[in-house]
Structure 1
């Protein structure tokens, strides 16, 4: 009996060890079986990057530092270019999803210089859309070259009516308003206010005379009366430094003393020789309008209506100043190209041009309504802002000035009046 107990004791540990071994083997086998049962994960597919197409937009500007009677009116160095850069960023926001990358190629020349060689080099670099901030003569010198090379020009600087009339071109889109559009916008408001009697003071430079002509045309068109005119001749002084406050205070009342009774003094001084000195210095206390006082423009830095606050804030954040008319014209031109590329989902110049020329084309530019092109001369229809240095007073067209096609066509040369034969 004692021997059997000893044998049983010796068997227990062996049996227990065998059981533990089998248990551990089964536990270790579970993960292996589980791993074998799981499907093999496929290799992660490589992300295919969409090819990026570059859409180059050229910017050709005639620039030199400008003088002004007031230091507050000296144009900023990046006027126009700043607006184009903001629009490039706006275009790329959408373009990134479509594989489009917009770039701006800025080229500067001196006013009056020969720009043909530089323009040809821009074409060679691939600029098929070019913003032109040039004089009328410079713009005309490249218009036909651009047409022959399939380049679209967007005029953002020259307000000359002749570029839309006698010298119009099929490949030049005019974003800047004409002098006649600006003058008509001003005249409508003065007539609406029932201030129809005007006197006109104009400068001795060509641009001053052209704006004076636009004001005379507006008077005839809307029922204003220009009772008297005077030319203020540029004597070649150093402007601010040669004319002291006391001298101005005495000269301007005398200069306006012999003018007949009137409601408003119109000023045509695009050359910045005397206009700033007219308000509050006339012999008879009257409002001043034109290039001084109440001024018509394509945009106003204080505009906040129709979403204007949004574009003003984005522009100010990027550039540290408010948006000016040329900034808005440049922004609009770049957005026209960007919108066309986005809507067509194409970078092909033929498709983009066809979209811009389509009957249903329009562009939103924070001006209260969609803007469209006049097909007879490719001038952009747009409201005209009237304001002083502080705020927007009103926008034209004014209430009551009707048109059978678009009230915006009450501003500037209408289709029945046009002399344009596109070529």
Structure 2
């Protein structure tokens, strides 16, 4: 029997797709080399150390996905390898970037927006395909987009849009906001304001977080008077993206109101409390290998490698340009255990994906929420839509 026919039969067996012609089903083997490039950072001091950042954050998701695609690929003549380049906080990230780009054409980058742009703009990256698995910075999907950079982590504005869709659906229309002092808090607060306006909600009052006391002992005493002068509201939003003070706000406010944003009801790329669409099975597999719950950055890395695997199967190639073209096409769909197929926006490289709005113990719902319509894809109601994005790299 010809090897091409054997490959087609193997594809049908592992994907459930019949023996119809599929581009790239040929006899040659495919070697897929992937790099995970991470710039470590020193965590900022916070009031509580109850939730330390896992040392393998992101990497654990990539490892799980690699095992999954490799299990499928062995039936199709595909081999996969993942190399982690972990740069310490005081390490030479530029040198690590050159090493990564020399080692493979497919690179997952776990770094800040500025570092992502530095990697994407390196001459050696011109013919590579990079995946942003860490930064939700809007500019990377707009004026600072790069044609060789796709995004599997949700943009910040998509998360706040998801939250506001849920609040609008519940008719919780009057919002108050507490904003932390750190740069990430200020950016997130700005997205909360813009998303509230986008979906017709009213921000009735704001306060800047200014405590320098130990709230582990004083939250019950300090927080009620701090929130007392806020106008009456339906929901109290918290912008605390560094996980510093938000945990002390809930149940310590003057008015008995739900808390949302960085605490309470959170919009997340992934949460372990999702139970539908096979999400439990994904979480169980992750927990077996990593020994902890999957987080949003783990999911972003998992999605990037699963997207690579899906594109390799369909094209029979590991060439970055070939894979990019397929991923940005209308044909590409990835089962992401979120109730609908995931795809990439062809105008800025952002992966379309539902956003989980959840509390610590249960999923509230997935956004986009029913009733928020879009002429092309309802997921495009979350984050920058094509007319709003200033990204031109994907059309030039």
Q: How would you bin the TM-score normalised by the shorter chain?
A: 0.7 to 0.9
Match of 1:278 in 2: 249
CA contact (8 A) 1:168 1:420 kept: yes
Match of 2:186 in 1: 209
Match of 2:231 in 1: 260
Offset at 1:148?
A: 4.4
Match of 1:109 in 2: 87
Q: Residues of 1 paired with 2:375 and 2:255: CA distance?
A: 40
TM-score between both structures, scaled by the size of structure 2: 0.88
SS, match of residue 122 in structure 2: helix
Match of 2:53 in 1: 75
CA contact (8 A) 2:35 2:100 kept: yes
1:259-338 matches, within 5 Å, as 259-338=230-309
Match of 1:61 in 2: 38
State yes or no: 1:219 paired with 2:196: yes
CA contact (8 A) 1:114 1:138 kept: no
After superposition, the Cα gap between the structure-2 partners of 1:96 and 1:274, relative to the gap in structure 1 and judged at 3 Å, is: same
State yes or no: 1:129 paired with 2:100: no
After superposition, the Cα gap between the structure-2 partners of 1:80 and 1:352, relative to the gap in structure 1 and judged at 3 Å, is: same
State yes or no: 1:390 paired with 2:388: no
1:169-208 matches, within 5 Å, as 169-208=146-185
Task: Return 5+ residue gaps in structure 1 as ranges.
Answer: 1-49, 236-241
Deviations 1:379-414 (A, max 9, x none): 111111011111111111112111111111111111
Q: Residues of 2 paired with 1:244 and 1:223: CA distance?
A: 34
Q: Residues of 2 paired with 1:210 and 1:84: CA distance?
A: 28
SS, match of residue 415 in structure 1: coil
Deviations 1:97-119 (A, max 9, x none): 22221111111224586522111
**Which has the higher mean CA deviation after the structures are superposed, 310-319 or 379-388?**
310-319
State yes or no: 1:246 paired with 2:217: yes
Q: Residues of 2 paired with 1:185 and 1:111: CA distance?
A: 33
SS, match of residue 408 in structure 1: helix
CA contact (8 A) 2:35 2:108 kept: yes
Q: Residues of 1 paired with 2:318 and 2:369: CA distance?
A: 40
Q: Give 1 or 2 for the bigger CA radius of gyration.
A: 1
Q: Residues of 2 paired with 1:403 and 1:159: CA distance?
A: 22
Q: Residues of 1 paired with 2:62 and 2:211: CA distance?
A: 34
TM-score between both structures, scaled by the size of structure 1: 0.83
Deviations 1:189-220 (A, max 9, x none): 11111110001111111111111111111111
**Which has the higher mean CA deviation after the structures are superposed, 245-254 or 263-272?**
245-254
Match of 2:318 in 1: 347
Aligned residues: 367
State yes or no: 1:376 paired with 2:347: yes
SS, match of residue 416 in structure 1: coil
Match of 2:379 in 1: 408
Out of 204, 228, 231, the residue aligned to residue 205 of structure 2 is 228
Offset at 1:72?
A: 4.1
Q: Residues of 2 paired with 1:70 and 1:180: CA distance?
A: 27
CA contact (8 A) 2:131 2:152 kept: yes
Task: Return 5+ residue gaps in structure 2 as ranges.
Answer: 1-26
Out of 79, 82, 92, the residue aligned to residue 70 of structure 2 is 92
Offset at 1:249?
A: 1.6
Q: Residues of 2 paired with 1:390 and 1:169: CA distance?
A: 38
After superposition, the Cα gap between the structure-2 partners of 1:409 and 1:147, relative to the gap in structure 1 and judged at 3 Å, is: farther
Deviations 1:113-155 (A, max 9, x none): 6522111111222x11111111111111111126744111111
CA contact (8 A) 1:191 1:222 kept: yes
Q: Residues of 1 paired with 2:91 and 2:239: CA distance?
A: 26
Offset at 1:70?
A: 4.3
After superposition, the Cα gap between the structure-2 partners of 1:419 and 1:305, relative to the gap in structure 1 and judged at 3 Å, is: same
Higher helix residue share? 1
Deviations 1:352-394 (A, max 9, x none): 2322222321211101000111111111111110111111111
